Chains A and B, each alone.
Chain A
Amino acid sequence: MTQEASLASGWADRYLPRLVLAPSLFAAALFVYGFIFVTVGMSFTESRLLPNWTWAGLDRYVELFANDRWWASAINLGIFGTLFIFVSMALGLFLAILLDQRIRGEGFLRAIFLYPMALSFIVTGNAWKWILNPGLGFEKLIHDLGWQSFTFDWLVNPDMSIYTVVIAGVWQSAGFSMALFLAGLRGVDSEIIRAAQIDGASMPKIYTRIIIPTLRPVFFSVALILTHIAIKSFDLVMALTGGGPGTASDVPAIFMYQFSFTRGQLGLGAAAAVMMLMTITAIAVPLMYAESKSTRGAQ
């Protein structure tokens, strides 16, 4: 650095780099940090239809925690998030291991498993809404195949509708976790595997005992990104179930949207948004810490 500074660089070279960064840093300061601060502030006020900066302490949070719909949406997120993350990771890892067996047409298969990631969640949601349509969709297909008493009404069944979101979400995101796991598998030292094979270890044993443990950092990255997708999930639920039937498949992102923008409860919406931020932070920070620790440990 000192060498570079000692170079006879002109005025432009000294200030231009900072000038180039300035708009982006300003944008981050104002629109990320500043706006988070404003939202947090708003969550402590009396804001209803319009912002009202009268201090209300924790009233909005008390109101939020007394709201059954909020808890229903939080529980839905718990169900959806857990299943979505777990199944996407398991299916992704399974696909990656199969594709790692020197498969003919690997590139072609990879493209098939990953194309849903290129689609909008609105498109995915609509496609699955049609497939899961009770009456004309999957149910009718099974009837036509000869099983007349088959029923599949999850989309309109309040107890089951959140699971349709899992089905569509996994379809969209499993390929993504496959891509990350496959990249991880390709990085495993083939010498170790060969040595284990010479020692007479079977392939399943090599995977469970040697290869998968070395993928620890990849597990953390995949979990981190899937968690992020799950907590933010808004468009998929909107398109697939609209949060329904009724509010049966409500999630916090929809709760926040509806209370803020259609019901004119700005303070409550802000409190919900802050809870979402805190949830992501509470999950992401330990995961990032574990990821960086396990990456360093592997090196």
Chain B
Amino acid sequence: MEPRLTFTRLLIYIVLGVLALYFLAPLYVMLTTSLKNLDEIRDGNLLSLPLAPTLDAWAKAWSGACAGVRCEGLKPFFINSLIMTIPAVIISTFMGALNGYVFTFWRFRGSELLFTMMLVGCFIPFQVILLPMARFLGSLGISNSVGGLVFVHVVYGLAFTTLFFRNYYVSVPNELIRAARIDGADFLTIFRKILLPISWPIFMVCVIWQFTQIWNDFLFGVVFSGSDSQPVTVALNNLTNTTTGVKEYNVDMAAAIIAALPTLLVYLVAGKYFVRGLTAGAVKG
């Protein structure tokens, strides 16, 4: 039932509208700036529309701008991010699903304690593992490689993925599993035939969460990558901080949008699951 429009309700709508504009403004500014040429940027202001929209800045950001010493735009680093993020998301999600399954339905003496101990991984500031990890990756010979980054993201993603699945499986009735065991179904059969079919919502949540976290990561990227294996966030930061000649704000903004596009798309398509992921860890931690 829609309440009738009173003065107070009108005021609420106005305040919400103004705040929505405030939240949208940076996106608008990024987009319009990326479509302007440098003269227009100097003559106009943040809110002015591009008079002669051009994709030149986008083209340069994608394949011509200098990020550090390399002047090939964001493209190679965007690809690095893809080949880093996709395997890391798949591996950490599947391991989390199996861990959650065991911690919920195959408890053994001490398994609750082990689960709690694993969760500590959600809370540590990663600064406290950077130095040993750098040496560890070096000793394995995978420092400065995309493979090393995949490894690091899997290792430090497991606490979250395990938590997601465990919290989801706790609400599945135990009788279902017990009945299947009495019928002679084994460990893996129960997981494949009973749990996987009902797990797709939490898979969505977990995949989207991990994708966003790993794609957006900067700390691991800047510490553990070399100039050829940098993820797109690190390259974006180098690109916008490379000061040779005139500062090209339009290219910077186009590059920022390019780096943000994958996670923004995921958010547009599956925002519901993204929100669930954000709240899942917090509401029942």
A residues near B (Cβ < 8 Å) are 1, 3-4, 7, 9-10, 12-13, 16-18, 20-21, 23-25, 27-28, 31-36, 38-39, 42, 51, 95, 98-99, 101-104, 109-124, 126-131, 133, 136-138, 140-141, 143-144, 171, 175-176, 179-180, 183, 221-222, 224-225, 228, 231-232, 234-235, 238-239, 242, 253, 256-257, 260-261, 266, 269-270, 272-274, 276-277, 280, 284, 288, 291
Contacts and interface: CB of A to CB of B under 8 A. Distances in A.
A102 B99 contact: no
Top 3 nearest A-B pairs (CB, nearest first) are A120-B216, A235-B218, A17-B106
Contact of A273 (B131, B275, B281): B131
Given A112-B20, A175-B23, 19 more contacts: A21-B103, A25-B114, A28-B159, A98-B15, A109-B20, A117-B278, A118-B266, A120-B236, A121-B218, A122-B236, A122-B237, A123-B259, A130-B30, A130-B249, A131-B26, A140-B46, A180-B282, A277-B128, A280-B125
Given A113-B20, A121-B218, A274 B181 contact: no
A130 B33 CA distance: 9
B12 interface: yes
Contacts of A117: 274, 278
B260 interface: yes
B125 A273 contact: yes
Contacts, number: 265
B242 interface: no
Contact of A222 (B16, B182, B282): B282
B69 interface: no
B266 to A, nearest CB: 7
B210 interface: no
A228 B123 contact: yes
A39 B132 contact: yes
B34 to A, nearest CB: 10
Main secondary structure of the interface of B (DSSP, over half): helix
Interface centre among A28, A99, A103, A104 (most CB of B within 10 A): A28
B131 A17 contact: no
B159 to A, nearest CB: 7
Contacts of B222: 238, 257
B253 A130 contact: yes
Contact of B135 (A10, A51, A171, A234): A51
B128 A274 contact: yes
5 contacts: A17-B108, A51-B135, A111-B271, A118-B266, A280-B124
Contacts of A103: 12-13, 16
Main secondary structure of the interface of A (DSSP, over half): helix
A99 B16 contact: yes
B158 interface: yes
Contacts of A101: 3, 9, 12
Interface residues of B, number: 97
Given A23-B95, A32-B121, A118 B212 contact: yes
B130 A273 contact: yes
B23 to A, nearest CB: 5
Contact of A136 (B41, B263, B264): B41
A103 B16 CA distance: 10
B51 interface: no
Interface centre among A9, A38, A130, A269 (most CB of B within 10 A): A130
B260 A120 contact: yes
B195 interface: no
Contact of B45 (A42, A124, A141, A222): A141
A152 B24 CA distance: 21
Contacts of A110: 275
Interface in B78-123: 95, 98-99, 101-103, 106-108, 111, 114, 117-118, 120-121, 123
